[in-house]
A and B are shown apart, each in its own frame.
Chain A
Amino acid sequence: MDLTGTMLHAAAARPRVLVVSMPGGAAVRLAAERQLRLRDWPPATTPAQADLLLVAGPLCPYLNPALERLWQNLPAPRARAHVRTADEVLAALDAVRARLASTAAQRDQETPAETDSRPRHDRRHEQSAEQDGTGGHTSQEKAARDGEHGEESVPDRGNGRYIGSGSDHSSRKRHHGSHGREEKKGDGGDAHEDHQGHGGHGGIEMPGGLPMAGQGEDRDGLTLDRLHVPLGPLLSDWPAGLTLRLVLQGDVVQAADLDEEPLFASRPVESFWVQPWLRSAAGEAVGSGEAVRRRAAARLDSLGRLLMVAGWPAEAMKAHRLRDDLLDGAPAAALASRLERLARRVGRSRTLFWLTRGLGVVTARDARAAGVSGPAARADGDVAARYRRWLTDIRHDVARLDDSSALDPAEESPRGRWDARQPPSAALVALLPHLLDGTELAAARLIVASLDPDMDELAAHSSEGAARG
């Protein structure tokens, strides 16, 4: 009896799937998440935990190297699939599972390269912003190491095609943001605040050939190592495409830097969540009910993501299921009671409130000044105020699902008043660096999730800009 074959087959009955959403891949991601839930294929959060890599959405050349590294980090047995449109999801999942279960397919596949797929994160060593070359790596090698944390990945230099908001400033910023530390050295005069003389370690052997960490004053008056950890662009439960470069000491965020890399530049991206508004702006007749349905689903999507980050997977699943039913066209009556239960359990949870109160306060005035509209501005407060706002809004929206009047352009889009030149998510993203300063990693993730910018909106905008320019 072929024991390995049997085991492979059994293991493939419930594969863990790492879904990587590309810019513009929201629709595919939603279809995939729905299928995974119905089939009980649990989602994975890192490549180490995954059997399948599912790339959702149109390919983005800029992210290819990052994807490649993700793939290399998947332990065998493994299989990957790329799904471009939502209709292909079913077939792709079946095909990829068959490959995972097949002994032959697994044998043929080159085993994940252990020797060459250098490092995933050695952040502990790679902390210093200055990397004074002690490790003696070629920059290629470092770039490879640099991206590595599974889902957060940083592209190699050659592939970045920087189009879009390419002012001088942002291109420099991009530089030190995206390919890390070695670049900064190369940039010459780009002296950084934590640039310290580290020349003296030449003689010591570095573990794994990795350079030493730099140190700096921290929030609590200690001098601790600085750890440079990028969050995004492919992190799970994270706005796809957003990249934040964190400087951590312990798990306290000392600085958060927005990576203004236009990921999307090569092609226009249409944001799934603002489709009704885009179509309406293009002169098409769009019903209010449809737009409201999309908006409620978008906020349920955000809520589910926040609940995942808050570590409440049971309720997150309910939110996602409601979202999928909404997008499926379920009538309001069929959803109302379940929505009510969710709103009660989450909205009135004292524990969740206790955990999120006081985090990431955005007052109405700050919001106005930053150009934020929508629930984040109306919430006028912390993370807790924002998720409660979402819940209230969702309930109002679900009551209006049958509204057949034409969409009023002034009707709020999921993240705020829709303006193609100044998409609401752009203002949300701009808020982030300041909000995250001095927070702890867990709080930082909650704050990002509670604002949940839709990067596809920015993509649509920047590609327009590129077309104009």
Chain B
Amino acid sequence: MVEAGAWWTLLAAPALLLGLAVLAVTTDAALTARDAGRPVTVSAAMRPLLAVPRALVAQPRRMPAPDRVLWRAGVVSVPVAAVLSTLVIPFGNVAVADLSVGLVWFNAMEVLTWAGLWLAGWGPNAAFSLVGGYRFLAQGLAYELPLMFALISTATGAQSLRVGDIAAAQDGLWYAVWMPVAFVVYLAGVLAFSFLGPFAYPVGQDIAGGVLSETSGVDRLMLQAGRWLWLAAGAAMAVPLFLGGGAGPVLPAWAWSLIKTLLVLAVLVAAVRRLPVIRADRYVEFAWVVLIPLTIVQTLVPALVGLNR
């Protein structure tokens, strides 16, 4: 059973999330080094972290007639929402706050990135940046509903919105096993709200980095950090939702949580490198015509099982 943690978990959860995000970044850097024909060493993997001192000395970007307030608000809200989402994610048997509506909380925080990215695109008053902001909305309209149905499937299965209950309800049989569609859609959703890899459409190379194109210094660091923090948060959330939480033989619950989270994170990092950017003009139709019906049917499965119980 999941319990609310002591006060220090409020600090430990963001630290753990940051650690996971750094691990994802360094893994990606190591794979890039291998592809580029550079030696794969620990220092090579750590090199992306040099972005931190770089961001601190760099001058922030000035644009003509920007909307500075909204720009800052957007840039800040992406990583902040990622951190807030971890409040409800249990690690082992402890969550910072095991809200009765934890699942909805996670979903709401994820939706905050809609506003965040659109504002970050709008703020600088620049064409490519704005196109990037709108692209995220187009992508959001495609990925959000299937993702919501995937989340609802798990809640229906456990007949609770509390994340701890959902993890506990998978005693013996993981939801990933009997709700595979929801699991895959959820993982795609994680990539989408962290706008990485196949869902890097709003920061596309073809629009010179889109939302990121006019950011420099700390602004850029915040947005980039937000992406990887979201990836880590999504991976951590997959564990209680689909992989039985901290349940497992021999090892303590926190160890199982960590192992499962790392595995999901590895899968996500591999997927980031494995696929080209999926444009919304193709994805929206696919999402609405294929994914939404599929996930609705998927939601129906636990509902029927629950009725017969």
Binding site for B on A (CB under 8 A): 4, 6-8, 10-11, 13-15, 37-38, 40, 45-46, 48-49, 51, 75-77, 111-112, 114, 118-125, 145, 149-151, 207-210, 227, 229, 235-237, 248, 250-251, 307-315, 317-318, 321, 349, 351-352, 354-355, 440-443, 445-446
Contacts and interface: CB of A to CB of B under 8 A. Distances in A.
Given A309-B205, A443-B281, 7 more contacts: A11-B57, A14-B48, A49-B212, A49-B215, A251-B131, A314-B32, A442-B279
Contacts of B207: 441-442, 445
Interface residues of B, number: 57
A317 B35 contact: yes
Interface of B: 31-33, 35-38, 44, 47-48, 50-51, 53-54, 56-65, 125-128, 130-131, 134-135, 198, 200-201, 204-209, 212-217, 220, 273-279, 281-282
Contacts of A145: 64
Contacts of B208: 45-46, 149-151, 235-236
B206 A309 contact: yes
A314 B273 contact: yes
Given A13-B50, A207-B65, A210-B64, A311 B206 contact: yes
B213 A49 contact: yes
Contacts of A10: 50, 53-54
Contacts of A349: 276
B216 A49 contact: yes
A381 to B, nearest CB: 18
B32 A49 contact: no
A237 B54 CA distance: 25
15 contacts: A6-B53, A10-B54, A11-B58, A46-B213, A48-B215, A49-B209, A51-B58, A77-B57, A123-B126, A151-B208, A208-B125, A309-B206, A354-B282, A441-B207, A442-B201
> Which 4 A/B pairs are nearest by Cβ-Cβ distance?
A311-B277, A208-B65, A119-B64, A123-B127
Nearest to A40: B47
Nearest to B279: A442
Nearest to B277: A311
Contacts of B62: 114
Contacts of B53: 6-7, 10-11
Contact of B209 (A8, A46, A121, A351): A46
B206 A119 contact: no
A77 B58 contact: yes
Given A112-B59, A441-B131, A38 B36 contact: yes
A312 B213 contact: no
